[in-house]
Structure 1
Amino acid sequence: MRTAVLAALLGLGAFAVATGLVLQLHTHPYLAKLQHNIDNVSVSSGEGVTAIVYPPNGLPEIRHNLSVTATTHVEGDLSAPEVKQNGDVTVWKRSTIVKEGRDDLVLSAEVRRICIDRRTGEAVAPCHGEFYETEQGKRTIGQGAKPLHPGLNFVFPFGTEKRDYRWYDTVLKEPVPIHFAGEQLLQGLDVYRFVHTIEPRELGNFQVPGSMIGSSESSVDVTQYYGVTRTLLVEPETGAVLSLREDIKQELRTVTQREGEGTYAFDGELGLTPASVTANVDEVKKNRPLLFMITTLPTILWVSGAVLIAAALVLLLLHRRGFLVAGVALVIGACLGAGTTYWVTNASDPDSSLDLKNVVSSTNVDYGLR
Structure 2
Amino acid sequence: MRESGNPAAATAAPGTPRTASPLSLILLGVGVFLLVLAPLLVRYVTPRAAVTPVDVDVTTVFTGTGSYFDTGSLTTRNGQRITITRHVLGDVAASEKSGRAVWDVSTTVDTPPTLALKDPRRAFQWTTGRWVTDRRSNAPVHCCGEAPGRYDGDAYLKFPFDVQKKTYRWWDDTLGAAVPLRFAGTTRVQGYPGYRFTGTVPAARTGSRQVPGRLVGRPEQGQIQAEEWYANSGITLAVEPRTGRIIDASISPLKTLRAPGSRNDAVTLLHGHDLEFTPATQRAQVGLAKADSDKLALVSRTLPAGAAVAGGVLALAGGLLVARGRRPGGRI
TM-score (norm 1): 0.68
**Partner secondary structure for residue 102 of structure 1:** helix
The residue type paired with residue 149 of structure 1 is Y
Residue 11 of structure 1 and its aligned partner are, at CA, apart by: 4.8
Distance in 2 (CA, whole Å) between partners of 1:40 and 1:103 is: 22
For residues 8-47 of structure 1, what are the structure 2 equivalents within 5 Å? 11=29, 13-47=31-65
- Counterpart position of 2:125: 108
Q: Residues 64 and 82 of structure 2 are in contact (CA less than 8 Å); yes or no, is this contact kept in structure 1?
A: yes
The residue type paired with residue 123 of structure 1 is P
Distance in 1 (CA, whole Å) between partners of 2:152 and 2:262 is: 34
Gaps of 5+ in 2: 1-19, 116-121, 327-332
Backbone CA RMSD of aligned residues:
3.4
* Residue 188 (structure 1) aligned with residue 206 (structure 2): no
- Counterpart position of 1:92: 103
* Residue 237 (structure 1) aligned with residue 238 (structure 2): no
- Counterpart position of 2:77: 63
Distance in 1 (CA, whole Å) between partners of 2:298 and 2:128 is: 36
Q: Residues 195 and 238 of structure 2 are in contact (CA less than 8 Å); yes or no, is this contact kept in structure 1?
A: yes
- Counterpart position of 1:340: none
Tell me: CA distance 1:54–1:188, structure 2 relative to 1, closer, same or farther (3 Å). Answer: same
* Residue 75 (structure 1) aligned with residue 80 (structure 2): no
Distance in 1 (CA, whole Å) between partners of 2:178 and 2:238 is: 18
- Counterpart position of 1:347: none
Q: Deviations over 1:91-121 (max 9, x none)?
A: 1100111110135462211111122111222
Q: Residues 83 and 110 of structure 2 are in contact (CA less than 8 Å); yes or no, is this contact kept in structure 1?
A: yes
Tell me: CA distance 1:54–1:120, structure 2 relative to 1, closer, same or farther (3 Å). Answer: farther
**Which of residues 65, 69, 79 in structure 2 aligns to 1:52?**
69
Distance in 2 (CA, whole Å) between partners of 1:67 and 1:211 is: 27
Tell me: CA distance 1:324–1:115, structure 2 relative to 1, closer, same or farther (3 Å). Answer: farther
Tell me: CA distance 1:116–1:288, structure 2 relative to 1, closer, same or farther (3 Å). Answer: closer
For residues 1-370 of structure 1, what are the structure 2 equivalents within 5 Å? 11=29, 13-47=31-65, 49-55=66-72, 61-80=75-94, 82-84=95-97, 88-102=99-113, 104=115, 106-125=123-142, 127-132=143-148, 142=149, 148-151=150-153, 152-210=155-213, 212-213=215-216, 218-219=222-223, 222-228=226-232, 229-254=234-259, 258=263, 262-269=266-273, 270-298=275-303, 300-301=305-306, 304=309, 308=313, 322=323
Q: Residues 9 and 308 of structure 1 are in contact (CA less than 8 Å); yes or no, is this contact kept in structure 2?
A: no
Residue 281 of structure 1 and its aligned partner are, at CA, apart by: 0.7
Distance in 2 (CA, whole Å) between partners of 1:166 and 1:157 is: 11
Distance in 2 (CA, whole Å) between partners of 1:323 and 1:60 is: 94
Residue 213 of structure 1 and its aligned partner are, at CA, apart by: 5.0
Gaps of 5+ in 1: 133-141, 143-147, 326-370
Q: Residues 29 and 315 of structure 2 are in contact (CA less than 8 Å); yes or no, is this contact kept in structure 1?
A: no
Tell me: CA distance 1:83–1:54, structure 2 relative to 1, closer, same or farther (3 Å). Answer: farther
- Counterpart position of 1:346: none
**Partner secondary structure for residue 305 of structure 2:** helix
Q: Residues 249 and 277 of structure 2 are in contact (CA less than 8 Å); yes or no, is this contact kept in structure 1?
A: yes
Structure 1 vs Structure 2: percent identity of aligned residues? 29
Q: Residues 159 and 246 of structure 2 are in contact (CA less than 8 Å); yes or no, is this contact kept in structure 1?
A: yes
Distance in 2 (CA, whole Å) between partners of 1:33 and 1:103 is: 37
Distance in 1 (CA, whole Å) between partners of 2:51 and 2:283 is: 22
- Counterpart position of 1:360: none
Tell me: CA distance 1:183–1:102, structure 2 relative to 1, closer, same or farther (3 Å). Answer: same
The residue type paired with residue 233 of structure 1 is A
Q: Residues 175 and 206 of structure 2 are in contact (CA less than 8 Å); yes or no, is this contact kept in structure 1?
A: yes
Distance in 1 (CA, whole Å) between partners of 2:259 and 2:145 is: 39
TM-score (norm 2): 0.75
Distance in 2 (CA, whole Å) between partners of 1:296 and 1:165 is: 26
Distance in 2 (CA, whole Å) between partners of 1:182 and 1:9 is: 48
Tell me: CA distance 1:183–1:160, structure 2 relative to 1, closer, same or farther (3 Å). Answer: same
Q: Residues 99 and 106 of structure 1 are in contact (CA less than 8 Å); yes or no, is this contact kept in structure 2?
A: yes
Rg larger for: 2
The residue type paired with residue 208 of structure 1 is V
Distance in 2 (CA, whole Å) between partners of 1:189 and 1:15 is: 37
Q: Residues 218 and 259 of structure 2 are in contact (CA less than 8 Å); yes or no, is this contact kept in structure 1?
A: no
